[in-house]
Structure 1
Amino acid sequence: MNENKRYSVSVIGDSDCLVDSICYRLAYETGMLLADNRYYIVTGGLGGVMEAADKGAHASKYYEFGDTIGYLPGNHTALANQWVDRPIPTSLGHVRNAIVAQSDAIIAVGGAAGTLSEMCFAWIFDRLVVGLTCNGWSKELAGKKIDNRIRFPHIKDDCVFMASNPIEAVNLINQKLPQYLGI
């Protein structure tokens, strides 16, 4: 990959994920590792997994202001969790999930219907998608194709890649992103 260019990774998952839950811890570690690897962290800007990933990015020794970007469903920046550096109100409700799915890659941590929509949008938009096998849709789709289309003829193992922990997830992003971006 281009050493001078920074890429974005969306961390998606359940907004109701509690601070003391495993999905919160996994999202926190994912956000920190992504920042350690100099990725921009994109979320939906609210609580749960989104808050955890943004907070984790802030814990990285490589964190810089601007590393966390939150596409909010409403029209007020005040609704963003406190760890979002760049809150972007969309006034689109769940339709904003299509914007969140426009990052260079996506890591799903658990999740319900909103996460499923983001994973499907990412698949449609030909993005690299990684699912942590913790629970929800990320576990359900990890290791599978969302549909039978051939998105990349040169990537024979294209699917929602399975990761059992944040280290595996970020390693998959580092390894596979050049193939998906054609660099």
Structure 2
Amino acid sequence: MDDDREDEDTKRDIAPYVPRRPVMAVIGNGLALDAATEAVCVELGRRAVEAGFRLVTGGLGGVMAAVSRGGREATTWRDGDIVGLLPGYEASTANPYVDIVIPTGMQIGRNILVVAAADVVVAVGGGAGTLSEIAVAWQLGKPMLALATSGGWARQLAGGRVDDRRSDRIASVATAEEAV
């Protein structure tokens, strides 16, 4: 009899199921951005959060900070919507717009975590680090978009394929609106 009562108590303590919100990883250059790219990144972050996405980035500057800032500016932003997976151990290196700071200590290995955590990956500009994230996302079968107007690897791979292991392509988008 006591067992039945414990089962009922346990059932009451379980929170109701809430569907998981989709996660968008935005990958790109950590350096200072030109005004146009920064504006697109801010808009991308805002639109993504307003569309119901959580954002995950590498948590540092450049594209990562601009997208995070945009996410924070969203009318629907909630604490926890912006996740930053840092390469080092120092949480203080995160950009100020990150809600959840995860210092991985994995250096470039954290690039794998950024894309593995995502339901969709958006590339903006980018150099070698972004290229590594694109390659991993491709191998993991993640849906991918590239902001073709942003330069770097995003421009070079927009509309193309990394290799022949997949039949789809990296979607080429020109605006934040198209990306979301």
Q: Could you tell me how far 1:22 is from its partner in structure 2? A: 2.0
**Partner-residue secondary structure (3-state), 1:101:** helix
Q: Could you tell me how far 1:9 is from its partner in structure 2? A: 0.4
Aligned residues: 161
In structure 1, stretches of 5+ residues that fail to align are 151-155, 171-183
- Structure 2: how far apart are the matches of 1:17 and 1:52? 10
- Structure 2: how far apart are the matches of 1:143 and 1:75? 36
Describe the superposition over 1:11-36 as per-residue Cα deviations: whole angstroms up to 9, x where unpaired: 11110033x53222111111001001
After TM superposition, the structure 1 = structure 2 runs for residues 102-141 of structure 1, keeping only pairs within 5 Å, are 102=116, 103-133=118-148, 134-141=150-157
- Structure 2: how far apart are the matches of 1:31 and 1:112? 20
RMSD: 1.2
In structure 2, stretches of 5+ residues that fail to align are 1-17
**Partner-residue secondary structure (3-state), 2:26:** strand
Could you tell me the TM-score, scaled by structure 2's length? 0.86
% of aligned pairs identical?
A: 37
Letter in 2 for 1:74: G
Describe the superposition over 1:122-163 as per-residue Cα deviations: whole angstroms up to 9, x where unpaired: 00111011000121100100000110113xxxxx6x111000
- Structure 1: how far apart are the matches of 2:104 and 2:72? 24
Could you tell me the TM-score, scaled by structure 1's length? 0.85
Pick the aligned partner of 1:159 from 164, 169, 174: 169
